Chain A
Amino acid sequence: MQANALEHLRGPMERALELGKANGASAMRITAHQGESQSIGFQAGRLKNADGSDGMGYSIHVVKDGRSGAASGNMPDMLENMVERALALTQFGAVSHFTEYPAPADSYASPKLYSPSVKNLSQEKQLADCQELVDFLKSKEDGLDIEAGAKVHESQSLLMTSGGFVGETHSGGWSISAGFQRTAGTDMLFSGAWRSGIQLNDLYDLDYLKQEMAFDLEYGSRTATIADGAYPVYIPPAWLGSFLRPISMGISGRSVFKGTSPLGDQLGKACFASNLTIVDDPHTDFRGESSGYDGAGIPTIRRNLVENGVLQHFLYDWDTAHMASQAPTGHDGCAPHTMLVKPGDTDSRAMLRSIDKGIYIRQLLGFGQGNLGNGDFSCNIALGYVIEKGEVVGRLKNAMAAGNILELLKGDIRFSSDVDPQTRQPYAILSGVNIVSRNA
Chain B
Amino acid sequence: MKERLLDALKNCDADYAEVRFEESDGSGFSYRGKELEQASTGCSCGGLVRACKNGGWSTSSFDSLDDLPEKVHQACRNAALVGHEKTCLAEAELPDDQVFTATLKRDFRGVSMEEKVKQLTAYNDILLHSTEGVESSAIRYTDTFRKVYFASTRGSYFMEERPRVTLFLQAFAKDGSRIQQAFESLSSATDYDVVLNHEQMAADVARRAVDLLNAPKCPGGRQTVILDPAFAGVFAHEAFGHLSEADFLYENPKMRDLMKIGRQMGAPELNIIDDGSLGSLIGTHAVDDEGTPTRRTELIRDGVLAGHLHSLETAGKMGEAPTGNARAISAGYPPIVRMTNTYIDAGPLSKEDLFAGVDDGIYAVSAFGGQTMMEMFTFSAAYGYRIRNGQICELLRDIVVTGNVFETLYSIDGIANDLCIHETAGGCGKNGQFPLPVTHGSPHIRIRNVVVGGEA
Q: Show the binding face of A for B, using Cβ within 8 Å.
A: 40, 43-44, 46-57, 68-75, 78, 82, 85-86, 88-95, 143, 145, 181, 183-188, 190, 228-229, 254, 258-260, 262-263, 265, 365-366, 368-371, 373-374, 376, 378-380, 382, 398-402, 434, 436-438
Contacts and interface: CB of A to CB of B under 8 A. Distances in A.
Contacts of A40: 82
B279 interface: no
Contacts of B253: 143
A398 B252 contact: no
22 contacts: A44-B251, A48-B56, A50-B81, A51-B58, A52-B58, A55-B61, A57-B44, A82-B43, A145-B251, A181-B252, A181-B255, A181-B374, A186-B258, A258-B135, A262-B177, A365-B372, A365-B377, A369-B370, A369-B400, A379-B400, A379-B453, A399-B451
B213 to A, nearest CB: 11
B46 A74 contact: yes
Contacts, number: 256
B386 interface: no
Nearest to A367: B371
B434 interface: no
B254 interface: yes
Given A181-B374, A400-B451, A258 B136 contact: yes
B134 to A, nearest CB: 10
Nearest to B455: A434
B454 A398 contact: no
B296 interface: no
B180 A371 contact: yes
B348 interface: no
B41 A50 contact: no
A49 B374 contact: no
Contacts of A398: 376, 402-404, 451
Given A93-B39, A398-B451, 12 more contacts: A48-B56, A51-B60, A57-B44, A71-B42, A75-B64, A82-B41, A260-B135, A365-B372, A365-B402, A376-B398, A380-B402, A436-B452
A180 to B, nearest CB: 11
A188 B249 CA distance: 13
The 4 closest A-B pairs by CB, nearest first: A44-B251, A400-B453, A380-B378, A369-B369
Contact of B58 (A49, A75, A402): A49
A371 B42 contact: no
Contacts of B174: 259-260
Contacts of A92: 29, 36, 39, 113-114, 117
A376 B373 CA distance: 22
B181 interface: yes
Interface string B19-63: 000000001010011011111111111100000000011111111
Counting chain A CB atoms within 10 Å of each CB, which of B33, B82, B113, B402 scores highest? B402
Contact of B374 (A190, A258, A374, A436): A190
B221 A228 contact: yes
A254 to B, nearest CB: 8
Nearest to B121: A93
Contact of A378 (B61, B222, B453): B453
Contacts of B402: 365-366, 379-380, 398, 400
A289 B299 CA distance: 44
Contacts of B373: 188, 190, 365, 382
A434 B219 CA distance: 11
A434 B35 contact: no
A438 B452 CA distance: 9
Contacts of B81: 50
B363 interface: no
